[in-house]
Amino acid sequence: MIQSATSQQAPTLSVIVPAYNASEQLRQCLASLSASTYAHFDVLVVDDGSTTPVKPIVNGYGYRSMRTDDRGGPARARNIGARNVHGSHLVFVDADVCVHPDTLAVIAEIFQSHNGLAAVVGTYDEHPRHPGFLSQYKNLFHRYVHRRSAGTIATFWAGCGAMRRDVFLEFGGFDADQYRRPAIEDIELGTRLARCGHQIILDERVQATHLKRWSFWNLLRTDVFARGIPWVQLMRRVGGMENSLNVRWSQRISVVLSYLTLVALAWSIRQPLHLISTALIVLIIIIINSKLYRFFWNCRGLWFTLRGIPMHLLYLLYCGFCVVVGTIRSYTDADPPSRPGPTMSTDTIAPGS
């Protein structure tokens, strides 16, 4: 149980929520923050040029809002928020995320008990709001990956993560020039911090509920073009990444095996006996990833797991595609300017909305 901290000991948390045309989700997000058991926090919503009103929703909960003149992406919105709050620690929460009542208290306790800690990230819980299979699958897969990577990591997650404000400002915040749409701006920032010796930990006690509805094409587009390919480019640029999260050796082996499955399946058209080879390779993939499939089974049962296995196989295939395309792009695209420095670019903002 988290012990109550005195006002002098308790870190002040400034929660920053970037929002773009997500009125109902934002309402639920702010309602969850208002139910927090932790007292030493404030909330700033940065309206990233929404076409629907945001300020009345924010005012209804007694929080502050700011509005950008145009849409610049969540990276820029978070940077703006960081410059306009005064808490010792920044907590980033997406507008389609609801924190648990104790989430902020857990974050504060972690910073208090880890002297010099730069950042902490959490995970989605096992109860995503949308009931559709893809939304459930995507959420549970995310939770599984984060849970098994608990401890010191070399990345950051802005869906529900916190960072010391002085460290954030020292490193110039998120790279809003390179990432003008939701992408890997949080991973890139975490990579910079970790490479400079700052400690980031993943603690599964920091939990939040995801509200997003995933469609097949939205999932594919996000995983491949917004995250997978840019992540490979980042890894190539920094010379590799820790054996954690989505880049463990077991995952890399599974990706190779998924393509061997395609080769064996193609051979089986002329030689049906190769169907046995195909089945054996798939069986090896299932064995390697048995903990993931057992997690699906425990959370949602057999039918969900049977549907989740082919989705995971597809995931492995497009991971391989991301590696190839990301590697090619790392050689053909100009490298973005390095951003380890203490300055942050200025953005035009308009108070209120």
Give per-residue pLDDT as tens, 313-352.
999 999 999 999 999 998 888 777 666 544 433 333 333 3
Check if the beta carbon of residue 19 is closer than 8 Å to that of residue 47: yes
Over residues 165-173, the mean pLDDT reads: 97
State the number of CA atoms in the 13 A half-sphere of 9 facing the CB: 12
Answer whether residue 4 shows pLDDT above 50.
Answer: no
pLDDT of residue 349: 34
Please give the Cα distance from 30 to 96 (Å, whole number): 10
- Mean pLDDT of all residues in 149-154: 91
Instruction: Tell which residue, 56, 170, 182, 35, has the closest CA to residue 99.
Output: 35
Structure confidence at residue 273 (pLDDT):
75
One domain for residues 104 and 205: yes
137 within domain boundaries: yes
CATH number, residue 94 = 3.90.550.10
Residues 166 and 251 in one domain: no
C-alpha 305/C-alpha 296 separation (Å) is 5
- Are residues 114 and 195 located together in one domain of the fold? yes
Instruction: Decide if 344 is inside a domain.
Output: no
Give the pLDDT of residue 22: 83
Is residue 326 situated within a structural domain?
Answer: yes
pLDDT at 200 > cutoff 90: yes
Q: Does residue 249 share a domain with residue 209? A: no
Q: Which of 32-41, 90-99, 249-258, 292-301 has the lowest mean pLDDT?
A: 249-258
Which residues, 6 or more positions from 331, have their beta carbon under 8 angstroms from its beta carbon? Answer: none
Interatomic CA distance for residues 254 and 281, integer angstroms: 10
What mean pLDDT value characterizes the chain?
A: 90
Q: Which residue has the higher pLDDT, 244 or 267?
A: 267
Per residue in 13-70, pLDDT (tens digit) is 999 999 999 899 999 999 999 999 999 999 999 999 999 889 999 999 999 999 998 9
Residue 227 lies in a domain: no
Tokens standing for residue 207? 């939990």
Q: Is residue 186 predicted with pLDDT exceeding 70?
A: yes
208 — pLDDT class (breaks 50, 70, 90): very high
Residue type, 208: A
pLDDT of 51: 92
68 shares a domain with 204? yes
Do 139 and 187 lie in one domain? The reply is yes
Write the DSSP symbol of residue 247. G
How many CB atoms sit inside 10 A of residue 271's CB?
Answer: 10
Supply the pLDDT for residue 266: 87
Express each pLDDT in 226-265 by its tens digit. 999 999 999 888 876 555 555 677 888 999 999 999 998 8
Report the percent of the chain where pLDDT is more than 90. 78
Same domain, 185 and 288: no
Residue 237 contacts residue 330 (beta carbons within 8 Å): yes
Same domain? For 203 and 249 the reply is: no
CA distance 114 to 93: 22
Which residue in 33, 345, 325, 310 sits closest to 178, CA to CA?
345
The domain total for the chain is 2
The Cα–Cα gap between 103 and 207 comes to: 6
97 and 204 belong to one structural domain? yes
Q: Is residue 135 one of the residues assigned to a domain?
A: yes
Residues 208 and 297 in one domain: no
171 and 73 both lie in a single domain: yes
CA atoms of 156 and 322, how far apart (whole Å): 20
37 and 162 inside one domain:
yes
Residues 105-126 pLDDT 10s:
999 999 999 989 999 999 999 9
Q: What is the pTM of this model?
A: 0.90
Rounded CA separation 291/294 (Å)? 5
Between CA 275 and CA 283 the distance in angstroms is: 12
- Residue ranges with strand state E in the chain: 13-19, 41-47, 64-68, 89-93, 97-99, 119-124, 151-153, 160-164, 200-210, 349-351
| CA–CA dist 154, 176 (Å, integer) | 20
Rounded distance between C-alpha atoms, residue 289 and residue 277, angstroms: 19
Instruction: Identify whether 197 is part of a domain.
Output: yes
Six-digit token pair at 86? 């005064």
| H-assigned helices in 161-301 | 165-170, 185-195, 216-221, 229-238, 249-267, 274-288, 290-300
Whether residue 149 is contained in a domain is answered as yes
Q: Does a structural domain hold residue 86? A: yes
What is the residue range of 150's domain? Answer: 13-214
